[in-house]
Amino acid sequence: MGLKAIRLLCLFLISGWLGAAVAQDEAQGSEEAEPVAKVGPASRSGFSTGLGEWALARRYPEQAVWLDLDDEGRALGLFLPEYITPANGALLVLADEGQTANEGVLGSLRVALAERGIAVMTVGLGLPPEAIRRHRMDVMAPSLDDDAGQNPDQGGNTPDSVMIDVAEEPPLDDVTADFRNSVRAVLSAGVEALQQRGYERAGVLGIGWSADYVTDWAADAAAVSAVVWLAPRFPARQAVTLPSLLKERNGGQGWPVLDLHGSGGRSGAEGQARAAAIARADVAGYDHQPVALNQPLRAEDAVRVASRVSAWLKTRPTSRN
């Protein structure tokens, strides 16, 4: 072998060794960095927004309100007072699952409501545990116009009977209860923050799946003036019990409900069926209004929604002290 060939072989071996060393360093670096990326706020019950709240607080420092959740830590609310007086009420708006306090329609809705004399605080909501989401996908919500799901004489082979029977999954019930309790803590802290600003009886607005959470929380809350559902979605079991829940809320002395649902497609059909079931239960104070909405909701929906909410709240006693 010639001298030139030997030199080329040496260079080839050295370059291969250097490449392997660099690759090893990069792998070690990624392994060291990975745990840092996974670190999140501690949670007793598995509730963690993971929504980049510090970044939002830095972006909107004049609106940021940190809500104390006791053992659950803190949650970020973004607050705007009414732009015109006298106030037309106050709303705590809970984002749909997995959305920040400023995501989708929320940022524009906060401004649009304030421009119409409504003080508003938006709060983000993290995704529920995977077990809850997987269970929801495994079952289909029954039609509220279909009485078969509520008739035990139909037998146990209906999809509704399979759907409602969750007694065999106590761990799932525990996970669901823990998550709901965590959401209740956020809602209670948000309403308390509004009360500290002089809004004694604020309303609550839930978007998507959060319509269920605000309704569940408001059923036992004394300081609620109204409940608004925006493009609501309800788990199957809760959807079936909605009429009785609304009729019995707060011992019959509870809050009115505004149901803003899509005007077409599946959302429109479900909204009409929900309204019919609630009407059959002779529930007072319930109003449903079909609205042209994007799916998912977008910033351009904010003005339409704010106008409907503002007009409806004007028929209610003011939330301002």
User: Of 108-117, 140-149, 306-315, where does mean pLDDT reach its minimum?
Assistant: 140-149
The pLDDT tens digits of the residues spanning 20-39 come to 443 444 444 433 333 322 32
Q: Which strands, in side-by-side order, build the sheet including 64-68?
A: 64-68, 74-80, 119-123, 90-94, 202-207, 224-230, 257-262, 286-291
Measured CA distances, 288 to 193, 221, 264, 270, 300 (Å):
29, 22, 14, 12, 21
Q: What percent of the chain is modeled with pLDDT above 70? A: 72
Round the average pLDDT of the chain to a whole number and report it.
80
> At residue 101, does pLDDT exceed 70?
yes
Q: Which CATH class for the 53-313 domain? A: alpha beta
- In this predicted structure, what is the pLDDT of residue 123? 98
Task: Give 62 or 154, the one with higher predicted confidence.
Answer: 62
Task: State the first-to-last Cα distance of the chain, in angstroms, to the nearest integer.
Answer: 96
What is the rounded distance in angstroms from the CA atom of residue 217 to the CA atom of residue 312? Answer: 22
- How far apart, in whole angstroms, are the C-alpha atoms of residue 134 and residue 52? 25
pLDDT at 253: 63
pLDDT of residue 119 exceeding 80, the answer is yes
Of all residues in the chain, what percent are helix, strand and coil, respectively (each to 5)? 50, 15, 35
**DSSP H or E run through 259:** strand 257-262
Q: Judge contact between 68 and 172, C-beta under 8 A.
A: no
* Tokens matching residue 94: 């809970």
Q: Give the CA distances from residue 74 to residues 49, 81, 99, 122, 302, in Å, rounded to whole numbers and listed in that order.
A: 10, 22, 16, 14, 27
Where does residue 61 fall: left (phi above 0), alpha (psi -120 to 50 degrees), or beta otherwise? alpha
pLDDT of residue 309: 97
B/e letters for 84-105, b = 16+ CB within 10 Å, e = fewer, are eeebbbbbbbbbbbbbbbbbbb
pLDDT tens digits, one per residue of 58-74: 999 999 999 999 877 89
129 preceded by a cis bond (ω within 30 of 0): no
Better-scored residue on pLDDT, 140 or 70: 70
User: To which residue do tokens 């003011």 refer?
Assistant: 318
